[in-house]
Amino acid sequence: MAKSHSLENQQDEDTEILSQSSKNPCHIARLPDDLVIYIFSTCVSSDSESRPSALRSPVVLGHVCRVWRRLTLATPLLWSTITIPSTYLNKAKFTLDAMAVKVFLSRSQECPLTITMRYLNSRDKTPAMIEGTNMVIGEILPHSNRWYSITMAIPSECIPQLLPGLSSGLPSITTLLLHPTSTVDRVLPTTVSIDLSCSKLLKYLSVGLNAKILGENLTDLRRLVVRFSSLADTLFCLQNYPNVTNVHITLYSLPDDQLDSSIETPACRLASLEKLWITSGQDISTLLDRLYVPRLENLSIGSSFGVDSPKLLNFFKVSRPPLLTLNFSGVNISRHAFLQILQYLPSLTVLRCMDSHLSQAVGDAFRNFASPLCPRLVSISLKCRMVDVRHGTSVIAQLVVHRWKAGRSGGNVKSIREVGLQTREEMDLVDKYPGIRLCRQEGLNVYIYKHGKEMW
């Protein structure tokens, strides 16, 4: 009875306020609740990159009037997005963050949670920063069953604090991004175990440290960014994501006495995979040899380790991927093997390679009138080593001039329209080749890429 009486009093107060506002020329006071709540949600979205504050939505909206405060408190969805972009190391500020997070979590009730924690002072990991981060993590951890989208860039010392949440199954998670704030911390002495056995809604997983991923048949997963220490772990993990379309794998280096090449590695079919990026300090030939990727369109490989050419060739021979983009700028293979690989890629449009890959035979294959190599190629970029600069630029210049003319004459090949080089010296060498300057006057784009990471 007391509760009913209280609700009636609240309704009377709201009716009185609305009655008074009807005489007010301000039309916003006459809007129905559902429309006001929709406007509120738009305000919250615009403030989603800001930390919880009395000057930000949804808190500031409740300061306008009693009706708005009632609406904000009665709408849990407005409190379900929490962002902590930390740019300071003051312990008192972390305490305020933890208090604000606690309020948001309480008012969000049972809504799925979108939580972002980014710590920009990655090099200054003071005890206050670590303690403060753990304080905030301690507030969100009991709500792991409601985690919907989680993005965390935190000190590696704080990751153990997250482990209970990561091993709880995460039934509501759709996006999980977990990265140490420093690249030095990415190889932790222990493997982080993440239990995704109940995460059937997961679509995007990115883990920037050595992780053991538990969970089978995650059919909704589309994008995967992970680090592994062994090929076997990589393949066993990929088997559980049959519909993944975008994969970025890092295989970091291990001492020779920790590598076990005798472990049986399963074959892995990824029928939906379209993009594959592999960065490795190990031989990746076995990994590729065990993959079957018939729909792969973009492949980028960077390895500081030598590769087994027969296994690499077998990968292209078996999968016959319809590649559009190939980045081989970090792969040390023979020129003959490189030529054989290109023969399996008639749809290739963008090629990034090293000057050591280019031989006269490769150039001749590109200029073959009867059956030209990669007839749809329109962009080529070269990563030169100082000892091969003249050789590489000479081969590039010859094939570019030939394909430029052949494409413009209406043949069965496309013109190469852009050439990427590393230095002014390389561009000068290319410019000296007969015909290049005329091609540039007609529209050929020869440029120097400034940022190696962006290009390669």
pLDDT digits (tens, 9 = 90+) for 320-366: 999 999 998 777 788 888 999 999 999 999 999 887 788 888 888 88
Render pLDDT for 163-187 as a digit per residue (tens, 0 to 9).
888 877 788 899 999 888 765 455 4
Q: How confident is the model at residue 190 (pLDDT cuts 50, 70, 90)?
A: low
Render pLDDT for 289-314 as a digit per residue (tens, 0 to 9).
888 999 999 999 887 666 778 888 99
Q: pTM here?
A: 0.81
- In this prediction, residues 136-160 reach a mean pLDDT of 88
* 352, 342 contact by CB (below 8 A): no
Q: How confident is the model at residue 429 (pLDDT cuts 50, 70, 90)?
A: confident
**Percentage of residues in the chain with pLDDT exceeding 70?**
80
pLDDT at 5: 56
- In this prediction, residues 17-45 reach a mean pLDDT of 71
Torsion sign (Cα): 226, 229, 231, 236: negative
pLDDT at 253: 56
Q: Is the pLDDT of residue 270 over 70?
A: yes
- In this prediction, residues 63-75 reach a mean pLDDT of 87
Q: How confident is the model at residue 456 (pLDDT cuts 50, 70, 90)?
A: very low
50 or 301: which carries more pLDDT confidence? 301
125 or 332: which carries more pLDDT confidence? 332
pLDDT at 49: 63
- In this prediction, residues 257-284 reach a mean pLDDT of 72
pLDDT at 260: 47
pLDDT at 288: 86
Render pLDDT for 366-423 as a digit per residue (tens, 0 to 9).
888 778 899 999 999 888 765 566 777 788 888 888 899 888 887 788 999 998 888 7
- In this prediction, residues 80-97 reach a mean pLDDT of 74
Render pLDDT for 198-256 as a digit per residue (tens, 0 to 9).
888 999 999 888 777 887 778 899 999 988 777 777 888 888 888 999 999 887 654 44
- In this prediction, residues 427-433 reach a mean pLDDT of 80
